[in-house]
């Protein structure tokens, strides 16, 4: 972080936190560079410890859910100072409360626990295979995001459009139809796209991409594909029969 730029920002009366938000850094990082260059925030005097941190200045920041390092950056004091006074006032950070609660849940063998998620607030956390806990909604969102990613990759590699009518407006309406039913190992939908990308690709290689309408017509025999897997082009489309 450039000394001249940082000095200009602090001279203009900006706080450590506002500078941190602008540069996308943690407040403690900005505070570190300020101290490194011998600079000082104009707000430092107001928040400086006078014989210690006042509970009135510290407790609201803890209740906001800030970490010890974030509080240190905000108050322009060291991490150790904040840690000392948090203990002195018997305050509990969100992280400390979570560690305590998860430790108790692990000892009790619980599968779920109620904790505070930064994204979803107070909600249910589910036990992971490694013994830790993760927000159920965050896990669900991550699974959905990955499914969409895998589906997008497979659709693009299969040509990106219905092999019969050419439909390509909405990828969710595009489906994979197995050309050889006996070679089908799993359906490429929902749980199918939660498998490894390599496994999904291998299965998609046995299919042709169809829109929902054409797929339904093929399945009931209204439309017929007179092609086999060997007839697929490199882009996943069907060569003329």
CATH number for the domain that contains residue 109: 3.30.505
pLDDT at 73 over 60: yes
pLDDT score, position 43: 67
Q: Are residues 62 and 99 in the same domain?
A: no
Q: Are residues 143 and 227 in the same domain?
A: yes
Instruction: Give tens-digit pLDDT for 33-61.
Output: 888 888 877 766 554 444 578 888 898 89
Which one, of 63, 59, 64, 81, lies nearest residue 72 by Cα?
81
pLDDT band per the 50, 70, 90 thresholds, residue 207: very high
pLDDT at 198 over 70: yes
**Domain extent at residue 127:** 94-135
Residue with token string 């003329």: 240
pLDDT score, position 32: 83
The mean pLDDT of 216-240, rounded to a whole number, is: 62
pLDDT at 168 over 60: yes
Q: Are residues 83 and 99 in the same domain?
A: no
Other beta carbons within 10 angstroms of residue 163's beta carbon come to 24
For strand 112-117 and strand 121-127, is the pairing parallel, antiparallel, or unpaired?
antiparallel
pLDDT score, position 174: 95
192 vs 28: CA distance, rounded Å: 44
Tell which phi-psi region holds residue 130, choosing left (phi > 0), alpha (psi between -120 and 50) or beta: alpha
Specify whether the CB–CB gap between 183 and 229 falls below 8 A: yes
The mean pLDDT of 20-43, rounded to a whole number, is: 83
In a domain, 129, yes or no: yes
pLDDT band per the 50, 70, 90 thresholds, residue 190: low
Number of domains observed in the structure of the chain: 3
Q: Are residues 130 and 146 in the same domain?
A: no
- The residues, ordered by sequence, that sit 6+ positions from 118 with a Cβ below 8 Å of its Cβ are 65
Computed over every residue of the chain, the mean pLDDT equals 83
Q: Provide the whole-model pTM.
A: 0.51
pLDDT band per the 50, 70, 90 thresholds, residue 238: very low
Q: Are residues 120 and 182 in the same domain?
A: no
| Position with higher pLDDT, 88 vs 100 | 88
pLDDT band per the 50, 70, 90 thresholds, residue 191: low
pLDDT band per the 50, 70, 90 thresholds, residue 137: very high
């Amino acid at each position: 972080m450039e000394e001249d730029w940082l000095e200009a920002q602090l001279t203009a009366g900006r706080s450590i936190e506002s500078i941190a938000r602008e540069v996308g850094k943690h407040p403690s990082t900005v505070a570190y560079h300020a101290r490194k260059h011998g600079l000082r925030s104009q707000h430092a005097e107001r928040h400086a410890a006078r014989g210690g941190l006042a509970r009135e200045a510290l407790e609201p920041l803890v209740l906001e859910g800030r970490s010890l390092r974030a509080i240190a950056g905000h108050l322009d004091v060291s991490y150790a100072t904040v840690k000392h006074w948090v203990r002195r006032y018997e305050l509990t950070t969100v992280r400390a409360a979570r560690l305590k609660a998860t430790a108790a849940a692990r000892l009790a063998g619980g599968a779920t626990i109620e904790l505070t998620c930064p994204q979803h607030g107070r909600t249910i956390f589910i036990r992971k295979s490694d013994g830790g806990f993760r927000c159920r909604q965050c896990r669900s969102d991550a699974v959905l995001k990955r499914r969409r990613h895998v589906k997008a990759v497979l659709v693009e590699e299969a040509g990106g459009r219905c092999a019969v009518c050419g439909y390509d407006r909405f990828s969710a309406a595009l489906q994979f139809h197995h050309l050889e039913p006996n070679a089908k190992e799993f359906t490429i939908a929902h749980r199918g796209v939660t498998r490894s990308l390599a496994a999904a690709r291998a299965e998609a290689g046995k299919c042709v991409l169809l829109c929902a309408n054409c797929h339904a017509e093929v399945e009931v025999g209204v439309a017929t594909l007179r092609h086999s897997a060997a007839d697929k082009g490199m882009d996943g489309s069907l060569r003329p029969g």
